[in-house]
Amino acid sequence: MTLLNMDPDFEVVGQAGSLAEGRALVPHREVNVAVVDIFLRDGNGVELVRELRQADPHISIEILTAGL
């Protein structure tokens, strides 16, 4: 997130480390882009991506991961 904070064109409005945190956070923020890790502590990031798309089909989603 530090890299995104350094760019004046980005404003980080929240950070979540789990599927549950992501589910709780995004609906309460104005989000244009979500950066989602595939491997979350309590679930699969793909599941969160599906939910985000269903809630807002216009949200841009970037899927990143640090690996296994």
Looking at the structure of the chain, the number of domains it has is 1
β-bridge partners, 35? 62
Sign of CA dihedral 8, 63, 41, 32: positive
The confidence band for 10, taking pLDDT boundaries of 50, 70 and 90, is confident
The domain in which residue 33 lies consists of 2-64
The confidence band for 65, taking pLDDT boundaries of 50, 70 and 90, is confident
Q: Quick check: 49 and 22 in contact, CB under 8 A?
A: no
Q: What is the pLDDT of residue 67?
A: 63
Q: What CATH number should be reported for the domain holding residue 25?
A: 3.40.50.2300
Would the pLDDT of 4 be above 80? no
